[in-house]
Amino acid sequence: MIVTLAMTTTKAFAAHAATSPLATYSFERRDPGPLDVQIEILFCGVCHSDLHTVRSEWGPTNYPCVPGHEIVGRVVKVGSEVKKFKEGDLAGVGCMVDSCRTCSACQANLEQFCENGTIFTYNSPDKKSGGFTCGGYSKSIVVEEAFVLRISDKLDPAATAPLLCAGITTYSPLRHWKVGKGQKVGVVGLGGLGHMGVKLASAMGADVILFTTSPGKTKDALRLGAKDVVVSKNADEMSKHANSFDFILDTVSANHDLNAYLSLLKRDGTMTLVGAPIQPLPVEAFNLIFQRHTLAGSLIGGIKETQEMLDFCAEHGIVSEIEIIPIQQINEAYERMLKSDVKYRFVIDMRSLKD
């Protein structure tokens, strides 16, 4: 049942169709209830998932769509029952804003796999206000405290925003597959997710090899912590690494040949996909059968693990490499993202959107 809530008009940028550029838009957000935190959005990272969704690449999107799930801002109001946040605190919101809290996944702190349907930050049915959830390309957001993250004031808030998706999406599989010291780990693609994967896996002690289609990114990858860089279009360079990886994290957003990477795993090695290309990717059975390889996938991470990742990053001084843009440049940013021309995450300064 949807109770009639007090609402406030919020300015935003939205996509109105799969083929039209994002443009200014206003919509109604609920005023904070007893359990809610209201955040004035300062920065919002630009994830390739925003682009996939805006263009209905993963299936039909609900328009108008306000994307954005790498949100950092200032708490401006808290409900009467909120305990962890007070006005003036820095706070973050990632890819989810609600879940059932009672299913086995929620009970295991894996809200991203909620059996009753995770409520994602945008383009999900909004059970509280009706319509569909609207994300961080907006001036303010209201989220239940249980889905709001504490943000360290030791880190640059703009460069922290991408941790809320790119950070947790790479941290979670690295932890789940127990990446650590003495392991050889591949990261495929040096974009938003990939560059966080390189930083996090090297902070966990692994020897990281970056695979890229952009030879111009080599120097940056080494600076970010990679031990070596392989240009994946070069078959000779690739074959030098045959049967040698413990783990490979594939962050590529477009079609590519998985078999070229599966054959680089050693016995019992795992390759995990976090990149979500829109077309099915063929896998040769023998690339799994021989050497008992595993091909797996991973979806963001639960709220508890997201906080753990933020605390890990604060402790190790890890943030994203960013290029700050005003919201008015979002359409150009999407075009650059499609050309792999991002170093290494666009972050929107939401103060560029005037009231």
Give the residues lining the site for Zn ion (CB under 5 A).
47, 49, 99-100, 103, 106, 114, 116, 165
How many whole angstroms separate alpha carbon 206 and alpha carbon 275? 21
For β-strands 7-14 and 184-188, DSSP reports them as: unpaired
Tell how far CA 164 is from the center of its chain: 6
* Residues in 285-324 at the binding interface with ligand NAP, rule: CB under 6 A: 298-300
How many whole angstroms separate alpha carbon 348 and alpha carbon 355? 16
* Nearest-CB residue for ligand NAP: 191
What DSSP line would sit under 96-112, residue for residue? Answer: EEE--S-SHHHHTT-GG
> 29 or 241: whose CB is closer to ligand NAP?
241
Cβ atoms of 189 and 250 closer than 8 Å: yes
What DSSP line would sit under 297-333, residue for residue? Answer: E-----HHHHHHHHHHHHHHT----EEEEEGGGHHHH
Q: Which does 214 bind (CB under 5 to 8 A by kind): Zn ion, ligand NAP, none?
A: ligand NAP
| Closest distance of CB 252 from ligand NAP, Å | 4
The residue from 183, 212, 287, 320 that contacts ligand NAP (CB under 6 A) is 212
How many whole angstroms separate alpha carbon 183 and alpha carbon 246? 6
Stretch that binds ligand NAP, among 1-9, 162-170, 199-207, 326-334 (CB under 6 A): 162-170
> 86 or 101: whose CB is closer to Zn ion?
101
- 87-105 b/e (C-beta count within 10 Å ≥ 16 → b): eebbbbbbbbbbbbeebeb
Residue 251 found at the interface with ligand NAP (CB under 6 A): yes
Query: Which distant-in-sequence residues (6+ apart) come within 8 Å of 48 by Cβ?
Result: 191, 192, 193, 253, 337
Write the CA distances from 22 to 130, 137, 332, 344, integer angstroms: 23, 10, 10, 21
How many whole angstroms separate alpha carbon 354 and alpha carbon 133? 22
* Residues in 213-242 at the binding interface with ligand NAP, rule: CB under 6 A: 213-214, 217
| Closest distance of CB 299 from ligand NAP, Å | 4
Q: Which does 192 bind (CB under 5 to 8 A by kind): ligand NAP, Zn ion, none?
A: ligand NAP
The residue from 146, 276, 281, 283 that contacts ligand NAP (CB under 6 A) is 276
The residue from 52, 184, 199, 293 that contacts ligand NAP (CB under 6 A) is 52
* Residues in 169-208 at the binding interface with ligand NAP, rule: CB under 6 A: 169, 189-194
Q: Which does 274 bind (CB under 5 to 8 A by kind): Zn ion, ligand NAP, none?
A: ligand NAP
> 73 or 94: whose CB is closer to ligand NAP?
94
Residue 136 found at the interface with ligand NAP (CB under 6 A): no
| Closest distance of CB 79 from ligand NAP, Å | 29
User: Three-state DSSP class for 254?
Assistant: coil
How many whole angstroms separate alpha carbon 145 and alpha carbon 35? 6
Stretch that binds ligand NAP, among 114-122, 146-154, 312-320, 334-342 (CB under 6 A): 334-342
Cβ atoms of 74 and 350 closer than 8 Å: no
Per rule CB under 6 A, count of chain residues that contact ligand NAP? 31
Which residues of the chain form contacts with ligand NAP (CB under 6 A)? 47-49, 52, 165-166, 169, 189-194, 212-214, 217, 251-254, 256, 274-276, 298-300, 337, 340, 342
